[in-house]
Structure 1
Amino acid sequence: MTIGSHLQALHGLPAFDFPDADAMGGELPDPASVAWRITVEAYESDEAWEDAFARFAAAVDLAKVRSLIVGAWSEVYDSGPDKVVSALLGSRDRLPELRALFVGDITFEECEISWINQGDVTPLLDGFPELEEFGVRGGMGLAFGAARHDRLRSLVIESGGLPAEVVRGVAACELPSLERLDLWLGTSGYGGDAELADLGPFLAGTRLPRLRRLALRNSEIQDEIAAALAAAPVVARLEVLDLSMGTLGDQGAAALLDGQPLTHLRELDLHHHFIDAQLAGRIRRALEPSGVTVDLDDVQEPWDDDMDSGRFTAVAE
């Protein structure tokens, strides 16, 4: 699977592409009614992202903007979003209503996910204390320090390989309002070197008191994660558990099934998996009568006869 389309919505608002310089002149929507996507050509752009943002700031009442999507910036293969971050922070006083921000809404045609150059995004959390949703795509060069944010409810980090330092940074954050955590852990071949121990603070259920939706997905250690979750304290207070897009097989699925009860969940998402059909049927019969929505779609076959080495994540390069 590759990321072939841009975000359609953010913070419950439909995405709207702010026009490029040549297309300016038409009527724009109400500033509070859409998630504004600001993007430039990923390669050889005639306009820098920060210049496009300056046009946006001149054309739209920033005081009413609630949701922003950062698309591609210039030379995204070769440079990180430092100037993007600086431009956003330079306008923070003019964005008092900003509640949602996503950095790196970039499709594979613009730049493969594991080749997106990222940077330190922690200053954006520090600079926008009223944010409720924050997301970022791309793990190369990504830095995420131990921050405190009292209002953030949703944190999403999408990658083909998430560095262990980033996972540890997120685990060290103080996020008392966080309800949704979604980490695409990826593969070691693309920098995803987090180990099960790095996920310990999430599994213990002590760091994020309001967490209700936990996604630890797109991982090559999906069986290990599933086995750990079978006895993890955090599970008892979750509504949604997402272990999709990874290499989940019979070992991890059986551990989940034989572990602590999951019948309190609203959703269990295991799509893109390598689970035997008979075992998948047992999972459905154990959970669906209790009202749990179980997603076991997108069954995969290993690349070769070795069920372990032949498994693959949904998103890598």
Structure 2
Amino acid sequence: MTIGDHLEEFGGLPAYTFPDATTDESKEVVLPSAESVAWRLSAESYDAKETWGECFTRFLYAVDTAKVTAIIVGTWQDVYDNGPTEVIEGLRAAADRLPALRALFLGDIVMEECEISWINQGLVTPILEIFPDLEVLGVRGGQGLEFDAVRHEKLRTLTVETGGLPAEVVRGIAASDFPALTHLDLWLGTSEYGGDSEVEDLAGILSGARLPALEHLALRNSENQDAVCAALASAPVVARLKSLDVSMGVLTDEGAAALLSGQPLGHLDSLDLHYNYLSDAMRAKFREVLEPAGVRLDLDSDDAEEDSDDEDGTVWRFVSVGE
């Protein structure tokens, strides 16, 4: 599966695409109020009429940016080859004009524009330095992605969507101090697309020591989902979660059994295991143990893909979002 649709909402607001440079100037465009939408700013990756920076400059003069609370960064020039340096530097230069910004998504890019594992990112932690009051940060794409260990007082939600999350990024996030973070969502991916992390790299997250407010944890889309679940079975952070998401990966009965036989999970409001390779018996076991406790379960496996075309009968199983 790939990502085929742009974000429809972000930061609690509906997404609105700021008109591009090809808009017919003879037709008046009535823009929504600055605070009512999440503004998507994009430039064509190739043969663009303007760069992302030029689009951003038009935006700064067309909108009352002092009231803007959410920005969605779409494509930038040559996204297959270049990271978002122009984007980050543009945001840095205009930071004083965005005092109300609380939510930023970097890379709302769909497969027709660039497959997720071909999106070039870079060092994204300067965003947290530029906007000390930011509460929501989303990043899509793992190619060239870097994330230094940082401390940020206000961040509440961090999402990193990749087909392969580099181990250094996982370690950087795990070593960061986020005292206000309530939601953490990491798509760990597959080694084929750079997802080379091991369970040991998650240690700082699993302990929860630097994440005292964490309530919702997603460690998903992993080819090592069984090992992730086995580690979660005894992870201190799980005891204070309201929701746990281990979906979209190569989860088999082995990992599911380890999770279910570990620490109690009945305190959770929800447990998401959708897109899995579980037997009917294992699904029934989850329902038997957790539904009486009121845990909402998602055990759907309809989209899980596997391939056994090899002559030796080897069965290949895939994460939900790879390339």
TM exceeds 0.5? yes
Who is 2:252 aligned against? 249
Q: Choose the corresponding residue for 1:121, options 94, 111, 124.
A: 124
Q: Hey, what does 1:81 align to over in structure 2?
A: 84
1:206-243 superposed Cα distances (whole Å, 9 cap, x missing partner): 12000000000000100001011111111100001000
The match for 2:57 among 34, 40, 54 is 54
Give 1:71's aligned residue.
74
Counterpart of 1:86 in 2: which secondary structure? helix
TM-score by length of 2: 0.96
| Coordinate RMSD, CA, aligned | 1.4
| 2:321 equivalent to 1:304 | no
- Aligned partner of 1:218 in structure 2 is 221
Residue 14 of structure 1 corresponds to 14
Other structure's SS at 1:254 match: helix
State the secondary structure of the residue aligned to 1:21: coil
Give the aligned partner of residue 232 of structure 1: 235
The structure 1 segments of at least 4 consecutive aligned residues displaced by more than 6 Å after TM superposition are 305-308
Q: Which residue of 1 aligns with 2:210?
A: 207
Structure 1 unaligned runs (5+)?
Answer: none
**Contact 1:274–1:302 under 8 Å retained in 2:** no
Q: Displacement, 1:125?
A: 0.4
* Paired residue type of 1:47: E
Secondary structure of 1:216's aligned partner: strand
1:101-160 C-alpha deviation (Å, 9 max, x unpaired): 000000000000000010111111001001000010000011111111100000000000
Query: Following superposition of structure 1 onto structure 2, how do residues 155-234 of structure 1 map, counting pairs within 5 Å?
Result: 155-234=158-237
CA contact (8 A) 1:161 1:187 kept: yes
Aligned-pair CA distance for 1:298? 2.6
Shift of 1:83: 0.5
SS in 1 for 2:184: strand
What is the alpha-carbon distance in structure 1 between the residues aligned to residue 313 and residue 194 of structure 2?
Answer: 23
CA distance in 2 between counterparts of 1:166 and 1:245 reads 20
1:245–1:270 contact (8 Å) kept in structure 2: yes
Residues 66-90 of structure 1 deviation map (CA, whole Å, 9 limit, x = unaligned): 0000000011111110001000111
The aligned runs of 1:5-44 (5 Å cut-off) are 5-23=5-23, 25-44=28-47
* CA drift at 1:286: 1.1
Paired-residue identity, %: 58
Determine the C-alpha separation between the residues in 2 that align with 1:308 and 1:254: 23
Aligned residue in 2 for 1:150: 153
Amino acid at match of 2:316: G
**Residues 275-290 of structure 1 mapped to structure 2, 5 A cutoff:** 275-290=278-293
**What is the CA distance between 1:310 and its match in structure 2?**
1.5
Unaligned runs of 5+ in 2: none
**Count of residue pairs brought into register by the alignment:** 317
SS in 2 for 1:83: helix
- Listed one character per residue, the Cα deviations across residues 14-58 of structure 1 (whole Å, up to 9, x for unaligned) are 000000123263110010000000011122211100000000001
Letter aligned with residue 150 of structure 1: E
Secondary structure of the residue aligned to 1:273 is: coil
Separation in 1, partners of 2:214, 2:67: 29
Q: 1:136 and 2:142 equivalent?
A: no
Q: Match for 1:45 among 24, 45, 48?
A: 48
Equivalent in the alignment of 2:113: 110
Distance 2:256 2:305 in 1: 16
Partners in 1 of 2:254 and 2:46 — Cα distance?
A: 44
Residue by residue over 1:281-314, the C-alpha shift from the partner in whole angstroms, topping out at 9 and shown as x without a partner, is 1101211121111001134353128998521100
